[in-house]
Each structure stands twice: as C-alpha cells, then as structure tokens.
Amino acid sequence: MNQPLPRYVDYMYSYPHKTAYRSFPSPVSLVPYLKQVEGQKASLYFHIPFCSHKCGYCNLFSLQTNRADYIATYLETLHKQAQQLSPLTTGLAFDSFAIGGGTPLLLTVPQLEYLLDTAVLFGVYPSHTFTSVETSPEYADPARLDLLKQAGVARVSIGVQSFLDEELTALKRRPRRDMINQALEAIRKRQFPFFNIDLIYGIKGQTVASFLYSLEQALLFQPNELFIYPLYVRPGTAITERESDDVCFQMYCAACDLLKDRGFLQTSMRRFIHHPSTDAEISCGDEVMLSCGSGGRSYLGNLHYATRYTVCQRCIAGEIDDYMGTTDFTVARNGFILSQEERRQRFIIKNLMYYMGLDKAEYERRFGESPDNVMLFRQLAERQWIENTDNGRICLTSDGMAYSDYIGQLFITPEIRELMETYSY
C-alpha cells in the first residue's frame, strides 16, 4: 500500500450501489416490508427525470426532453403510483420530502402544484414537512420560486458548478454567468431557510485559483449550504478527462480552508453548512425512503428497489415508457434484498462517511459485536484515517475525510462488487 491511492474513485452516497440491483425472479410485494418499518420516520421522494439539456458529466437517470404531453403523462402516472402506495404507508411518519431529478423546476407552475397535491396523498405538506427541491439556473424564475415559497418549501438546491463560462463549456452545460446570477439573486431574495449551491472541482483546465473564484462568487449570494463535488469520469457520460488527483486535492484543501474561515462546518467530504444550529444534524445511516417516479430508489428495511438504472438516453426513455405502462405499483420488480452482512456494511458506510461518525454502542446493539473487531477499522486507524472519540464514536480524521471515496470502496463486499462490475448499462 505504498503506491499513491486514488482519492476520487466514486461517490459513495448509498449502499448497495444501484448497479448491484437486479430483476427479482418474481415481483416482490411491498406490504411485508412496509410492515417491517411501521412506526419509523421516513422520507418521501418524487423523481422528475427530465432535463432540457443533458450535462456532460451527468450519469443520473434523466432524459433530455421538453415534450409537454410526455411529461404530463408521466406526472399522471406518478399520481397513480401515489394513489396505490399511500394507503399502504399510513404506518410511516414522513418527516421529510424531496423533489429531485433531472430538473424538477422544468415543470410548469400548474404541474408543480399538481405534484405538491400528489404529496398530500401521503399526508405530506411542505409547510409542515421539511421539503427540499432541486433546480438549475434556467428554471429558477420568480413564478416558480414564489410557488415554492408560498407552499412552505424549506430548502432550494441549485446546481451552478462553476461561475466561469469556459469551465461550464468544458462541462457541456448551458447556463451562463448572467443567468446564474439572476437565479441566485432570486433565490436569495426569497429567504428560504436552507439555500444550497453545488460546485464542481477537477474540471480539465481548472486551477485552484479559478475554483476559489467560483467559491467566492457563490458565497456572495449567502448560501448556508454548499456541496463541492469532485468531477468523475463515468461510463456513459460525455466527460472523458479531468484534472489529476493531486490537483483536485489541492482544490479540495483550499476550499476546506476558505469555508472553515467563513464559519462553515464540514459534515462530509462534499457538504459544508452554515446553519444557526446543528441540533437537527443526524446521519442518514439507516433511513427509510419511499420514492415515486421512474428512477427513484426506495429503502424499506432490507428491501431496496427502483426501476432499472441506466445512463443511455434511449434506454432511459424505454424505462420511463415501461413505468408509464405499469398498472401495479405495490410490488418491486428490480432491486436488492440486503442480508444482515450487507446491512452492516451499509450502516458502516453511511455513518463513517458523516462527520458525527459511527456510534460504537449502536453498532454493537445492532450487530452483536464490537466494531473494534472489524479488521478494516484497525487498518484505517493505523493510517490515521479514523479515530475513537471521547463520546464513544469512530470518526474520520481530516485526512480520512479527504479519502472518503477510497475508504467507502473498501467496505463493499465481494458479492456487491461482482454485481457492480458485471452490470450492463
């Protein structure tokens, strides 16, 4: 292990990875799994898989289209799905709601109202449930933002990625500086309680100075959350090169220093917050999530499921067509049922990658042994990437946080690794 280690392997935001999902031999009823998580807090998620333009780095499940009739039919299908699922989920306490994509604000104001009315089927109202909505600069206009504000949406997240046109061109993004500034100012003026801006580092030709310029420009609009993402070269995308790991790491370190100096708290390798209180900051290590829409993933205990993941535009269109032809949404057809071992790995990954770390007592309660027995933990401690804290947790050190992508990969089991490596997009 003396050779340089890859820092930016892949984004470890969930486990098992969606490329480990497979078609079930026969449809799996959701009813027993919903019973399994009854009484727990849960998140509701609506996936809007449409964009007017597909960015070069994007490997998300999103289709480039502006076809009004097609999008309208999709929303009607999502509503039908909610009608079927909502009577089965009365035992869940939905305390958060997110609308993602794609570009959700591509929808018209009446369509957004229809989507919010669909959430009401689950007893979810943005004014009473923490609600987050994603957007991009070209759709963050006054009419859409006013609707979100009036509805009680708490968090708006906007993907900017860079404030330099040449870097946006390298990312194959359309929004330009004037449009970005207008959108950010419109969001800032409406004073959403949580305002997040996404930026990317590692773009080919980008420098530490140019990345810090974008970061400084973002801070002028007073966001209280920032996500900074390393650029990945991924299968099926239009980006084939980026800056080296060393240059990316220099950008990361410079950003960490700047944001710490401005009073931001780093909660993961990517996320920085400047909230009045961090009392509500919890790990998402064991979340229950119910998704509606093609491409949205659901986590119901040890059942994880979603429509089939792909990045090819033709294939995504086919999956959406299949979704809109579905008649029974009370079963899962594609996913993964986690063993106790896979649940253990998920618990480790989801907690260790978060700044509050892994609760040793909770780990022992769930899995019947001390995490001190985990060989990988001992190896990580030897590298000074993790440490035991006085409050009984295992946390990443600052060096460990910087290697989050690499560390997360170490906990992938051989079974999941084989499924990921043999996945056909």
Q: Is residue 85 part of a domain?
A: yes
Q: Is residue 281 a part of any domain in this protein?
A: no
pLDDT digit string, tens, across residues 190-204: 999 999 999 999 999
Is 360 in the same domain as 256? no
Shared domain check, 153 and 47: yes
Three-state SS for 206-241 is CCHHHHHHHHHHHHCCCCCEEEEEECCCCCCCCCCC
Q: Domain limits at 348?
A: 340-418
Q: Calculate the average pLDDT of the chain.
A: 94
Same-domain status, 269 and 344: no
Do the domain assignments include residue 306?
A: no
Residue 37 burial by Cβ neighbours in a 10 Å radius (0-12, 13-18, 19+): buried
Beta partners for residue 82, in sequence order? none
Environment class of 66 (CB within 10 Å of its CB; exposed 0-12, middle 13-18, buried 19+) = exposed
Q: What percent of the chain has pLDDT over 90?
A: 86
**Domain shared by 119 and 215, yes or no:** yes
pLDDT in tens, 264-321: 999 999 999 998 765 455 544 568 999 999 999 999 999 999 999 998 999 999 999 9
Please identify, among 273, 289, 318, the residue that sits at the C-terminal boundary of a domain. 273
Shared domain check, 230 and 111: yes
Name the residue with tokens 């309680």: 193
Question: Residue 58: its pLDDT value, please?
Answer: 86
pLDDT in tens, 356-406: 999 999 999 999 999 999 999 999 999 999 999 999 999 999 999 999 999
10 vs 205, more confident: 205
Whether 258 is in a domain gets the answer yes
- Decide if pLDDT at 168 tops 50: yes
347 part of a folded domain: yes
Q: Give, as one character, the DSSP assignment of residue 308.
A: P
The pLDDT score that the predictor gives to residue 3 is: 56
Domain boundary among 273, 294, 326: 273
DSSP string, 97-158: EEEEES-GGGS-HHHHHHHHHHHHTTT--TTTSEEEEEE-GGG--HHHHHHHHHHT--EEEE
CATH code of residue 130: 3.80.30.20
Question: Of 249, 273, 297, which residue sits at a domain end?
Answer: 273
Residue 117, exposed/middle/buried by CB under 10 A (0-12, 13-18, 19+)? exposed
Q: Do 269 and 375 share a domain, yes or no?
A: no
At residue 94, the 3 state secondary structure works out as strand
Same domain, 240 and 380: no
For the entire predicted model, the pTM comes to 0.95
CATH of residue 361: 1.10.10.920
Side chain identity at residue 213, one-letter code:
Y
Is 171 within a domain?
yes
Residue 298 included in any domain? no
For residues 404 and 261, state if they share a domain: no
Nearest to 160 by CA among 195, 122, 132, 207: 195
Domain count, the chain: 2
268 and 344 part of one domain: no
Q: What is the mean pLDDT of residues 20-43?
A: 97
Residues 195, 77 within the same domain: yes
One domain for residues 245 and 390: no
Q: Helix (H, G, I), strand (E, B), or coil: what is residue 261?
A: helix
Question: Helix and strand tally (H, E) in the chain?
Answer: 15, 18
Question: What CA–CA distance (Å, rounded) separates 147 from 153?
Answer: 9
Q: Would you say residue 311 lies in a domain? A: no
In this structure, the answer to whether residues 107 and 233 fall within a common structural domain is yes
- Residue 78, phi then psi, degrees to nearest 5: -60, -40
Mean of the pLDDT values across residues 339-353? Answer: 95
In angstroms, the first-to-last Cα distance of the chain is: 32
